[in-house]
Amino acid sequence: MGRRYEHFSISERVEIARLLGVGTSLRQIATALCRSASSICREIERNGGQSGYLAEYAAQQAMARWWRGSRLDRNADLRNTVLDHLARGWSPEQVVGWFRHQGPSPIGVESIYRFIHAQIRRTKDYGWRHLLPRGKARRGIRPKPGGSSTRLIRERVSITLRPEAAQSRQSPGHWEADLMAFSRYGQNLLVLHERMSRVLVAVVLPSKHAEPVARAIKAALAPLPAPMRQTITFDNGTEFARHALLHRKGIATFFCDPHAPWQKGGIENAIGRMRRSLPRKTDLAKLDPKQLRRALLVYNTTPRKCLDWNTPAQAFYQHMLHFKRESTPPLSRG
């Protein structure tokens, strides 16, 4: 087994500087110090200065690079700011984006994740995980997919035929839908996600049966102007089997490929964020409607990187106002 690496001591650096000064080769220096030639070479390249290798300067350079813990450990004000925003439901990326919107960010996304995971390991307090978007103490592996229910959905149209405008997120009015299930049997939220603005709508469902679900979607989208409700994309759950009822409102429907929930990743991401305030153990029968509205408000008013750090609510209502102005007839001049 090779020798365990140790940092160079000041006496070794003095000796390196002396031997270099008399023209000794790197291999000869390595032999004299019982070090590998690659270690000597790396030490000189890293810690040498423009005037050559000086022992005191090399020691200062090495000391400056030593990792002294997370910046969040060392800077209490920065730590409090980051933790405050995480507690409000922001993701580490949103926190860093918020910093960058004001100037150079003092912290990186990965540094925040590492800090939280370090606290979990250090304190054994799994409450820290709730500060992360998915609320997980560690990253897991997705389970293997099972069977598909596509054969039970009539008039099913593949997502591959969805209009390019919906695919590119460049125009509003294209939605994704899914159910947010809870541990008590029969309790579900219908969640609708607008692809361009990322705005989120949620409705408590009386039943998971296909017809009530289709009617709930119609009722949720009915107040919107036609350009704001053009298409909607589902997974292959049988609760969306009556999707054809939406065609009467001019809403085209499309379905993901089997076992490909990533094809409607926007709503999958949104549900993951909503789980932070509405975990699976929530009893919808006892849930105050104000609590649901508050959770939606937090989601829709959190800045997003993909929206140039605007909020989903801002992006959505900008398009709503645009369509209202276009549909308002000009004032009569008579």
**25-29, 70-74, 177-181, 288-292: segment of lowest average pLDDT:** 70-74
Alpha-carbon gap, residue 241 to 259, rounded angstroms: 17
Place of tokens 């925040």: 112
User: Shortest CA distance to 243 belongs to which of 264, 222, 213, 263?
Assistant: 213
In order of 34, 175, 251, 252, the CA distances from 247 in angstroms are: 80, 14, 5, 6
Place of tokens 């070479």: 41
**Three-state SS across 275-295?**
CCCCCCCCCHHHCCHHHHHHH
H/E element, 253: strand 252-255
Q: How many residues comprise the chain?
A: 334
pTM value is 0.57
Residue that is last in its domain, among 131, 163, 180: 131
Residues 6+ apart with CB under 8 A from 171: 165, 196
Residue that is last in its domain, among 131, 165, 182: 131
* pLDDT band, residue 332 (cuts 50/70/90): very low
- Residues 108, 54 within the same domain: no
- Give the CATH number for residue 177: 3.30.420.10
φ and ψ of 181, to 5 deg: -90, 155
245, part of any domain = yes
- Residues 103, 60 within the same domain: no
Computed over every residue of the chain, the mean pLDDT equals: 86
> Looking at residue 147, what is its pLDDT?
55
143, part of any domain = no
Domain count for the chain, please give it: 3
Residues 6+ apart with CB under 8 A from 77: none
Alpha-carbon gap, residue 104 to 265, rounded angstroms: 30
Average pLDDT over residues 315-332: 65
Type of residue found at 247:
H
185 neighbors 280 (Cβ within 8 angstroms)? no
Q: Which domain holds residue 167?
A: 152-325
306, part of any domain = yes
- Residues 274, 224 within the same domain: yes
